[in-house]
Amino acid sequence: MKKIILILVIMLIGSVTYAENKDFRFYSFGEFAYYPTLVDPYPNTEGIQFSTTVAIGFEYKFLFVEVQQTVNMVKSDKMMFQPYREKYYLRAGVNIWALTFEYEHLCTHAVSMNGNLGGYDKVSIQFDSRNL
């Protein structure tokens, strides 16, 4: 997963050269979120919940690939946070007309020594009338 993220970062930097190509598009986004009422079944996560998310991806005509990392944490002191879980997403698919055929892989890892917390593989077909 880290190799895929590194490759996409290098491609994102290199995309400045190909900015005039309308078929090829790179993007990135980030988020810092606050969850005042989130209840997480993960042990030792009592308190106010936060998360950070960073994602990068690219689109070429009707194909897309995106990787995303989310870190869940609790506030442990006035300006200190205690991370407890990382989530890695890989999404790839095809957009055709108003349909999206997508594959998604999620793996979650504990920041502590507890190891892997699980994940899933999902294949989906979505319909979006906004693309008509």
Q: In total, how many domains does the chain have?
A: 1
Q: Which domain holds residue 115?
A: 2-131
Provide mean pLDDT across the span 101-120. Answer: 81
- Residue 108: beta bridge partners? 87, 118
pLDDT value for 21 = 62
Instruction: Report the share of the chain in percent with pLDDT over 70.
Output: 70
Calculate the alpha carbon distances from 105 to 5, 59, 108, 111, 118 in Å: 14, 18, 10, 19, 11
Contact 25, 58 (CB under 8 A): yes
Which phi and psi angles does 11 have, rounded to 5°?
Answer: -65, -35
Contact 90, 1 (CB under 8 A): yes
pLDDT value for 47 = 67
- Burial per residue of 16-28, b for 16 or more beta-carbon CB atoms within 10 angstroms, e otherwise: eeeeeeeeeebee
E-only strand ranges, the chain: 24-35, 49-60, 63-75, 81-96, 99-110, 116-127
Contact 88, 67 (CB under 8 A): yes
More confident residue, 43 or 98: 98
What is the overall mean pLDDT for the chain?
Answer: 80
Q: What is the pLDDT of residues 13-43, one digit of tens each?
A: 655 555 556 677 888 888 888 877 776 766 6
**The two three-digit tokens of residue 6, written as one number:** 């590194």
